[in-house]
Amino acid sequence: MDKSILNKISDFIWEIPQSYQQDMRVPARIFASEKILRDVLKDESLEQVVNVSTLPGIQKYSYAMPDIHEGYGFPIGGVAAMDINEGVISPGGIGFDINCGVRLLRTEKTFDEIKNKISEFTSAIYKEVPSGVGVGGRFKMVNKELDAVLAYGAEEMLKKGYAMEDDLKNCESGGCLKEADPGLVSKRAKDRGRDQLGTIGAGNHFIEIQKVQEIFNEECARKWGLFKNQITILIHCGSRGLGHQVATDYIQTMLNSLSKYNISVCDSQLACAPFSSYEGQNYFGAMSAAANFAWANRQLITWEVREAWRKVFGFTAGLELKLVYDVAHNIAKIEEYGGREMVVHRKGATRAFPEQPVLIPGSMGTASYVLVGAEESLKSSFGSCCHGAGRVMSRTRAKKTVRGSELKKDLEEKGIFIKAGSIAGLAEEAPVAYKDIDEIVSIVHEIGLAKKVVRLKPLGVIKG
């Protein structure tokens, strides 16, 4: 796509008019700087933003966040709200890793107090939390146990003793979508997930030990228990193979039902069904169950990180790791705007409701951020903002460009300890493969979708 197609609304807002393509139902709106836009124009992501605008029932705009890059059907960094009565639900608008998300834990320790034990703590987490492609966790669930996790998410982890009451209070949706129906999750999906609870997998998933490097909003930081040089832990993962299989199953179901509902899509990856239809409701129930699995997964990982903390620093009630917040960035949820209920698809986009913590992980070795949602997001993006840095380089190209062993050495020279199952795989997540996280966050801050609270600096990284 040529930049001349875009209308510049402001320094960080661009629009592709509805007149650009005959089948567009709404305009497309992109949040980006001139520099970010140059990178975006190199792939097919803007074409995907336009394609999303053609879906039945879409409201206002097809949105793209500044970390946008090409994805499956929807771009990663895409947001679309569909009218609950007239609109569709599309698995491509949630992604294969259903409820991939981020949670932040805080400690009462400062960097100076434990700096000599960062390496030991990094290793302890690596031993406690299984990671890697297809790697299983500490227990294998029978059907009854797995169905309970799919139905109740983090609530089931509380029941089993792997959570505290405050964990659920500080989790989006309390860590459970009540629309979940385990019976709508296929046997194959369940088989892929039954031994993966409490694991981070591979790819861009990680656990990171960090310190609070800079505070921008003292009031929010204080309210959320964050202070300068404080040690925090960021967990980034999702629903593992179970969520991937749910997406795979229902994409095929919806491809088969398109003609039934007289729906024509310009890209088969946008396969969808009316939200109110049999297929739409079945997918929503299965997606919600997979989302619950992801919240239970991050909760069990939290318990494992707490175990690692106790083993390295000793158990003292006052030093218990506390959950700041947990938020999804691959999910569809029913929300109300202007008196109308919408099915809001967020794929590689974070909910950013007013006063809510918004967690934005950086690429490996770069900063992460905690933001606070703002009123402007409700008006401008259906309560959404970015979810990370966003790729500018494919994993294949990154591996050809960067040597994992050299990257590990470079990061350790900067004081960042690395524990990874695959050194070669580290290259896929090299900082050079991603956009500049500081610029991405500055854009959503300037637009007013979310405001900066603290900047987090990495000290230890655990990857599959």
Q: What is the pLDDT of residues 159-193, one digit of tens each?
A: 999 999 999 999 999 999 999 999 999 999 999 99
Q: How far, in Å, CA of 222 to CA of 105, rounded?
A: 15
Higher pLDDT, 244 or 413: 244
Q: Phi and psi at residue 85, in whole multiples of 5°?
A: -95, -35
* pLDDT over threshold 90, residue 275: yes
pLDDT at 390: 85
pTM: 0.96
pLDDT at 394: 82
Q: How far, in Å, CA of 360 to CA of 362, rounded?
A: 7
pLDDT at 316: 64
pLDDT in tens, 344-359: 999 999 999 999 999 9
pLDDT at 243: 98
Q: By the 8 A CB rule, do 149 and 294 touch?
A: no
Q: How far, in Å, CA of 78 to CA of 197, rounded?
A: 28
The residues near 256 (Cβ < 8 Å, ≥ 6 apart) are none
Q: At what angle do helices 278-313 and 143-152 cross, to 10 degrees?
A: 100
N-to-C CA span, the chain:
36
- Position 377, amino acid: S
Q: Give me the sheet containing 13-16, strands edge to edge.
A: 7-10, 13-16, 28-31, 62-69, 76-83, 340-347, 330-337
Catalytic residue flag (residue 387): yes
* pLDDT over threshold 70, residue 318: no
Percent share of the chain, pLDDT over 90: 84
Residues 446-451 have a mean pLDDT of 98
- 65 burial (CB, 10 Å; 0-12 / 13-18 / 19+) is buried
Of the pLDDT bands very low, low, confident and very high (cuts 50, 70, 90), residue 204 is confident
Residue 18 has, within 13 A of its CA and on its CB side, a CA count of 12
Selecting among 236, 329, 387, 445, the annotated active-site residue is: 387
Of the pLDDT bands very low, low, confident and very high (cuts 50, 70, 90), residue 315 is low
DSSP annotation of 427 reads G
Domains of the chain with CATH codes: 3-392+434-463 (3.90.1860.10)
Of the pLDDT bands very low, low, confident and very high (cuts 50, 70, 90), residue 427 is confident
Of the pLDDT bands very low, low, confident and very high (cuts 50, 70, 90), residue 395 is confident
> What's the chain's length in residues?
464
Q: By the 8 A CB rule, do 137 and 192 touch?
A: no
* pLDDT over threshold 80, residue 317: no
What does 344-361 look like in DSSP terms, one character per residue?
A: EEEES-EE--TT-EEEE-
Residues 67-83 have a mean pLDDT of 97
Q: How far, in Å, CA of 261 to CA of 272, rounded?
A: 10
Residues 294-307 have a mean pLDDT of 97
* pLDDT over threshold 70, residue 319: no
Mean pLDDT of all residues in the chain? Answer: 94
The count of other CB atoms within 10 Å of the CB of residue 374 is 24
Structure tokens at 63: 């949105």
Structure tokens at 82: 């569909």
* pLDDT over threshold 90, residue 12: yes
* pLDDT over threshold 70, residue 123: yes
Q: By the 8 A CB rule, do 359 and 170 touch?
A: no
DSSP annotation of 341 reads E
Helix ranges, 325-436 (H): 375-380, 395-401, 404-413, 423-426
